[in-house]
Structure 1
Amino acid sequence: GLVIAMVASFIFIVLLRFLAGIMVWVMIVMVILVLGYGIFHCYMEYAKLKGEAGSDVSLKDLGFQTDLRVYLHLRQTWLAFMIILCIVEVVIILLLIFLRKRILIAIALIKEASRAVGHIMMSLLFPLCTFFLLCLCITYWASTAVFLSTSNEAVYKVFNETACQFSGQTCKPETFNTSNVTKLCPDAQCLFAFYGGETAYHKYLIVLQFFNVFMFFWLANFVIALGQVTLAGAFASYYWAFKKPDDMPAFPLFSAFGRALRYHTGSLAFGSLILAIVQVIRVTLEYLDHRLKAADNRFAKFLLSCLKCCFWCLEKFIKFLNRNAYIMVRVSRPDADAHLSLVSRVAVLDKVTDFLFFLGKLLIVGSVGILAFFFFTQRIKLVQDTAPPLNYYWVPILTVIVGSYLIAHGFFSVYGMCVDTLFLCFCEDLERNDGSPERPYY
């Protein structure tokens, strides 16, 4: 299933290069049809269960069950699925109606982005490099966290039944019997108390763990930012090449990666630092929320929920601002006010293209999910003998769906970065040049 998702995503990306406009509209229609089929299938299952014993039991009365197949025998389950799909269908249709003009502009950008990706095909594999670097960050964080957690020492203390001046003091079992403690307190014993330590290192170990978490967020955000700047630099070199692809670098992706490390490390580190601080605050708020669950302080819980919501919005805003700021770094113009105006202009169109790419991901995930459902339930006669008999077939189906989404997201994230870069370059081109022979448009 994951291989099919990868092949389908790659074929979809290749077809976008030659049939971008047609593919976008076909994608929109296919998403609507897939959702329509889902609604029809849910209705048929809902109607088929009518009159069957136990099918009218409500989800509330049934409660939580480890066997997920039990829910599929309830009419209320299929009714809930049908209502959810109907809401999604209506929302998508309304968005298509109100955003039709923006969609036409987005289609034109996707066409140009398809040409750019066609000239820089290695960009489709670049998310694997980012994923590898993120795995290194996770490995570093996990190994450091395990080292800090296991660096505690066994602490032994003096225990005795009668009064003793050495009671509660630390001791060493190896030398305890030969010390003065046993002479002054004959009934004293040196017993294990806890794992920890009396040094400053052990006392402030929680601070080191906190710093380790902060460094993980900083490094992870830096790696993601490095990937964004590299892709932006590669696609910017495509746009600013007057004769495409003759004026482009021989290896645009590697050239952009080298320039990012050489000239923009400080900008990436600063943007990642701001985002890491916000994320650490969010983690701290989540920890406090977990500790306050047992407390009966409604005001504190309300205040904490408000703070969590505010910092979630702040994180999303900083991510959006950083992403477009990294693109403008590669466009290379020192005017900050112009940068902010361009970012504000790209905001709406960015969400429209994100919506179109989301429909593409939804189409791939939905198609692969339906195929996986029919395969694992042995409803495809051609491969009926190949499908293994499973008691819990929803586990592999959900695995395929989640994996398909991650694969499709990796491919479409490259396209999203390309569209944003080209649009900002286009806006910059309009401000720099006037179309005259002396200053022609790129």
Structure 2
Amino acid sequence: HNAFVVLPHVEHNPSLTGKVKGLNTVLFRLGKQMKHKNSWIHGDPRKVVYPTDSHGQFCGQKNTPNAGGNTTCHRPSLFLLNPFCCHLFSFPLFSHLTLLLYHRSVTSLLSAKEVGIKIFEDYANSWYWILIGLVITMAVSLLFILLLRYTAGVLLWLVVFGVIAAVGYGIWHCYWEYSDLSGKSGANVTISDIGFHTDLSIYLQLSQTWLVFMILLSVIEVIIVIMLVFLRTRLRIAVALLKEGSKAISYIMSTLFYPIITFFLLAICIAYWAVTAVFLASSGYTFSQTNITKVCPGSQCMFAFYGGESVYHRYILVLHLCNLFVFLWLVNFTIALGQCTLAGAFASYYWALKKPNDIPACPLYSSFSRAIRYHTGSLAFGSLIVAVVQMVRIVLEYLDHKLKGSQNACARYLICCLKCCFWCLEHFIKFINRNAYIMIAIYGKNFCTSSKDAFFLLMRNVIRVAVLDKVTDFLLFLGKLLISGSVGILAFFFFTHKIPAIQEEVPSLNYYWVPLLTVIFGSYMIAHGFFNVYAMCVDTLFLCFCEDLERNDGSSSRPYYMSPGLHKILRKGEEGAKSCAAS
């Protein structure tokens, strides 16, 4: 983009006429690509759509000087670039190299265009079936969440025992490999003796490797069993909360479709950032005339600024960074608004003494209205903190990219440590903010007070937090993989003509993986949206459950708001703890 743009008059250079005609087809096809490149330089986002001449005037558009075409704008939709003229007379060797590079780039461009056309044809022929696959995913996700109300316990324990069985099989396999290699020559060499090798298969031929694996897996198995023995009561509470979450969603079904609102708001944020970035990027370098025509008669080489460089142009990078920061802030605010809205809806379910009769009408709309009217400042402040940390992480990534070729090991090590620290800090702040938004939705206090209350409440129930968080995350992740994987397998068999019953309905495709990957990715995103609502429901109910335990004692004057099933499990856990303490 820093090269001269040449618009020669071929008739002034007879020796070049044949060469230019030979490249005519190439230049015509390259014109559209060059139009897009220069559109970011000229300073007007409209140039992304319409071609211009070297003076920045639109070609072939109504009410413009070039509406009918002129000497520098012969065709209404073409921006010509001739690499022969200036380079041929000044630097002949470089001109041939330039032609070679242009030929290769144009060839790859045409190949990419053919592939793009085929992909577009595949989408045009299979969009109907892609839509059916996504609808199936939505129905299965909804059904899975509703079934968790009745099968959460069975599913959770199947997962737990499945993990135990898988680790146990790993221990047995490592022992079998270790005993098999122990009698072979050369397998008793230690890992430290052979040193480091990029071929990892070498280590698998050593008996010591399998011994290390076996010891590690045995330690993991013992830890899992010990945790199950001591945390069996907590696991029952987690199962009860998962069931309670499914019950709450069944009463407030509108919450499952709130991710559509979040997606719409995020799309607005992305569009705002993209449009602003285009205006900033297109306000940079533009063209003005030079004296290069003396070197190459008949050409018009343009490269400079319209009106000269100003202070504004020197700070375009700073403005890009400000635009990026605003984008991060808006995205985090949108996510915070969704979390606070869902938390308010599910909290209204939990704090209803007689469910579902005491649940207020339209709880999702009421919660959204409260969040917009009363909690905008708190949500903006919490999202601001996350945006600042994310901006620092982006700067660190940029510095790490610049220091990759550096020989300063200390600087690279420092950047790596900072990246790790800020990654941990971002996830910790997101965790605190998520629970702070729940407390904001329940009590309506400001962000700092809610963050403090949520933090100390979680610390007083740290074991429950650890168990519930990991169990819920793993179960929901398993559900996402189960749904997207099942729909993906079904789509694979369909698009590869493996289902005889509906083989005639399969559309003709150039690449079957185009609709297949689209269905898999779309299915995972849809399942992710549904299960994010479920995770927010469980987190809200958990904080309400902890608050309920501290504020009430189950008496007639201060009754528990939790469900009878959850109360029954809690009472069993307290009685078991008291009996253990007495013994």
TM-score by length of 1: 0.73
> What does residue 418 of structure 1 align with?
537
1:355-374 aligned at under 5 Å gives the runs 355-374=474-493
Q: Which residue of 2 aligns with 1:152?
A: 284
| 2:261 matched residue in structure 1 | 129
Matched with 2:527 is 408
One of 256, 261, 273 as aligned partner of 2:367: 256
Q: Is the 8 A contact 1:153 1:197 kept in 2?
A: no
Question: In 2 relative to 1, CA 263–366 (structure 1 residues): closer, same or farther, beyond 3 Å?
Answer: same
Partner AA of 1:154 in structure 2:
T
| 2:551 aligned partner | 432
Q: Secondary structure at the match of 1:373?
A: helix
After superposition, give the CA deviation of every residue in 1:364-383 in whole Å (9 maximum; x if it has no partner). Answer: 12212222222233222222
Measured in 1, the distance between the counterparts of 2:403 and 2:421 equals 19
- Offset from partner CA, 1:132-187 (integer Å, 9 cap, x none): 00000000000011011112363658779xxxxxxxxxxxxxxxxxxxxxxxxxxx
Structure 2 distance, partners of 1:282, 1:209, is 16
SS of the equivalent of 2:504 reads: coil
Shift in Å, 1:279: 0.6
Corresponding residue for 2:425?
314
Report the Cα offset of residue 433 of structure 1.
1.2
2:436 and 2:450 in contact (8 A); partners too: no
- Report deviation, 1:360: 1.1
Query: How far apart are the structure 2 equivalents of 1:196 and 1:17?
Result: 68
Aligned partners of 1:348 and 1:195: how far apart in 2? 63
The SS at the match of 1:241 is coil
- Asked if 2 retains the 8 angstrom alpha-carbon contact of 1:239 and 1:422, the reply is yes
RMSD of aligned residue pairs (Cα, Å): 3.5
2: CA distance, partners of 1:4 / 1:32: 33
Q: Within 5 A, what are the aligned runs for 1:49-128?
A: 100=228, 101=232, 102-128=234-260
Alignment of 1:27-426 (within 5 A): 100=228, 101=232, 102-152=234-284, 154=286, 156=288, 192-193=303-304, 197-332=308-443, 338-344=453-459, 345=461, 346-388=465-507, 390=509, 392-426=511-545
Q: Describe the shift of the 1:300–1:10 C-alpha distance in structure 2 as closer, same or farther (beyond 3 A).
A: same
Shift of 1:437: 1.4
Residue 505 of structure 2: SS of its match in structure 1? coil
Q: Considering only CA atoms, is the larger Rg found in Structure 1 or Structure 2? A: 2
Which of 1 and 2 has higher RCO (CA within 8 Å, sep 6+)?
Answer: 1
Q: Give the direction of change, closer, same or farther, for the CA distance of 1:399–1:190 in structure 2 (3 Å limit).
A: closer
What is the count of residue pairs matched by the alignment?
364
The SS at the match of 1:384 is: helix
Distance 1:376 1:205, change over 3 A: same
Q: CA deviation at 1:197?
A: 4.8
2:157 paired with 1:10:
no
Q: Separation in 2 of the partners of 1:221 and 1:213? A: 12
1:103, 1:353 within 8 Å by CA — same for their partners in 2? no
Give the SS at the match of 2:359. coil
The DSSP-based 3-state class of the residue aligned with 1:385 is helix
The one-letter code sitting in structure 1 at the alignment partner of 2:265 is L
The amino acid that maps onto 1:3 is V
Q: Is the Cα contact below 8 Å between 2:343 and 2:540 reproduced in 1?
A: yes
Are the aligned partners of 1:30 and 1:363 in contact in 2 as well (CA < 8 Å)?
A: no
Overall identity of the aligned pairs, in %: 63
Counterpart contact for 1:155–1:194, Cα < 8 Å: yes
Q: 1:31 touches 1:363 (CA, 8 Å); kept in 2?
A: no
Q: Gapped runs of 5+ residues in structure 1? A: 34-59, 62-89, 161-188
Q: Tell me how far apart the structure 1 counterparts of residues 334 and 276 of structure 2 sit (CA, whole Å).
A: 19
